[in-house]
Structure 1
């Protein structure tokens, strides 16, 4: 195998221009284009279908359409946020293969990753309902895709995102509290909370982390006494080394806050959450969840693209049925490369 000198580079993520140029494609799609041109088949019209190999929640459609916009093709797709079943067609593309074939790798990656994140978010949202879920997953993925992951989480039903770009692209304000680093630098929870209260915008909810130095209930009462009615919530992120956040801990803190005269203070929980844990914690009285690793670490919702027509002739590889797959719900989103209003 021939070895190449690595390209000098800092941040290694592909730029939009590199994706558009086909540089993230599997190389055999480039070779395919060259062979079809040699055989004078590069102008042949085809119909391709992308389908899901597992059930889940569809996301990434808008980004995929952006990649294909302006090409002389017509694209039908299911709406973002549609629940899909195994083998269900999520997108159909018609046009000359030479104009979109090289994008198969990128299209499948966009749809698979986004749909996997959205599916995990929806699972969490349903487990936590009616308590809101905020996406805290940016730290678990490469920064190049953090905003993509956050958008997929919002498609899945998350009510906010912690990353600045992810929230901004969704037209929201980023949601967050404070890190342990701030408290460790300041050295005292109440001192940090008071500084947070002075510096943050007046309309930003005051949510204070209380698990850094002392007993969580004790710290919660100290912060509530210092901030009074300005304190919206306390955040629990107790590490697994100390048993994590448990329903019993939540109930104790709520009871002690109420006895101290602060029953209005809500409890926000983050750290190692699963659907089973959020359901138990919701029942114990938690008012909000920050979910990171469960969403960000979700497996992609595997997607496949097949040619189903070449010219007007139905085709398919062995094991698949030739011809167009009847799929209710597909909507024309691009016509000759031009976006169509819904």
Structure 2
């Protein structure tokens, strides 16, 4: 994450521990009154394979709360592939310096890595065909920036929200919503109005499944916006049979027949990696996929944190190995 965007992630509620679980506050109260604040080694490990994301945000937090001396932070990097039980973060410092933030650190890693892993599964399934994340429409708006950052980290070529574009320093991607076409009353009319009023550097990609047959609307829009149309997008609802490779092939054939070979076909909706693989296996000429719910739901990857040393002495709770976990992949960050 670039320097200019750090503060947007360091909300006051996080820094004062309002996002932290109450038992961490109580633990620190007990330790403080008992005069205990040992130097500990604390490790976070993954509970499943996936794509790591959220480390940059955690480093931002630790830079803010750890003293400049007598600290060590070792970690992997955002976008690294990780394996089950692999240590992704190691902190060495006085416990009171960071113990309150365990909730936030685990939550950041679980959410962001889950989104990044889901995005990566879509990108891998697409085999080089661009995947745009529309996941911002399927999460709470307070985390839209985080889901978009995670999607880019996982391999998406673009995201859809303005705040996501700011955080990732990319240009948000999007065409037109069904609401515009419905209000305008006609797909071609909506497309022509879009072309008149939207900046010329925005690609003209028109939604063609609102009122009539997708192939019919695709042809009419292509004729009326000849020379300026970049592509068409289809998001046929499941009530109409959904989006299939056969539908894409039909539209492609009809566009090519009228010499509109340059018009790309973009597929969007509630698609999953298996759906994407079906298009690829069928060799359907898809120009790009736009995925929302699958990325927003995440992969379910979670993380766990443990103290592994106290004042240089190896320790662990039952079921865990005491002492520092050997890892040649961790790099010292702080």
Q: TM-score range by the shorter chain?
A: over 0.9
Matches within 5 A, 1:108-123: 108-123=106-121
Deviation at 1:299, TM superposition (A): 4.0
Deviation at 1:74, TM superposition (A): 2.0
Preserved CA contact (<8 Å) 1:115 1:301 = yes
Structure 2 counterpart of 1:328: 328
Preserved CA contact (<8 Å) 1:114 1:300 = no
Structure 1 counterpart of 2:53: 59
Q: TM-score, normalised by structure 2?
A: 0.94
Q: Do residues 312 (structure 1) and 312 (structure 2) align?
A: yes
Structure 2 counterpart of 1:162: 160
Match of 1:107 among 105, 118, 133: 105
Structure 1 counterpart of 2:286: 286
Deviation at 1:285, TM superposition (A): 1.0
Structure 2 counterpart of 1:6: none
Matches within 5 A, 1:90-101: 90-101=88-99
Match of 1:16 among 5, 8, 11: 11
Q: Do residues 26 (structure 1) and 24 (structure 2) align?
A: no
Q: Which runs of 5+ in 1 are unaligned?
A: 1-13, 335-342
- Give per-residue Cα distances to partners, 1:228-270, cap 9 Å, x unaligned: 0211110000000000111100000000011112111100010
Q: Match of 2:259, SS?
A: coil
Q: Match of 1:326, SS?
A: coil
Q: TM-score, normalised by structure 1?
A: 0.92
Deviation at 1:173, TM superposition (A): 1.0
Separation in 2, partners of 1:20, 1:226: 55
Deviation at 1:300, TM superposition (A): 3.7
Which segments of structure 1 move beyond 2 Å, counting only runs of 4 or more?
Answer: none
Preserved CA contact (<8 Å) 1:154 1:160 = yes
Separation in 1, partners of 2:45, 2:287: 38
| Distance of aligned partners of 1:277 and 1:299 in 2 relative to their CA distance in 1, 3 Å threshold | closer
| Distance of aligned partners of 1:115 and 1:317 in 2 relative to their CA distance in 1, 3 Å threshold | same
Structure 1 counterpart of 2:62: 68
Structure 1 counterpart of 2:4: none
Mean Cα deviation higher: 65-74 or 183-192: 65-74
Matches within 5 A, 1:133-172: 133-172=131-170
Deviation at 1:15, TM superposition (A): 7.8
Q: Which runs of 5+ in 2 are unaligned?
A: 1-8
RMSD across aligned positions (CA): 1.1
Q: Match of 1:177, SS?
A: coil
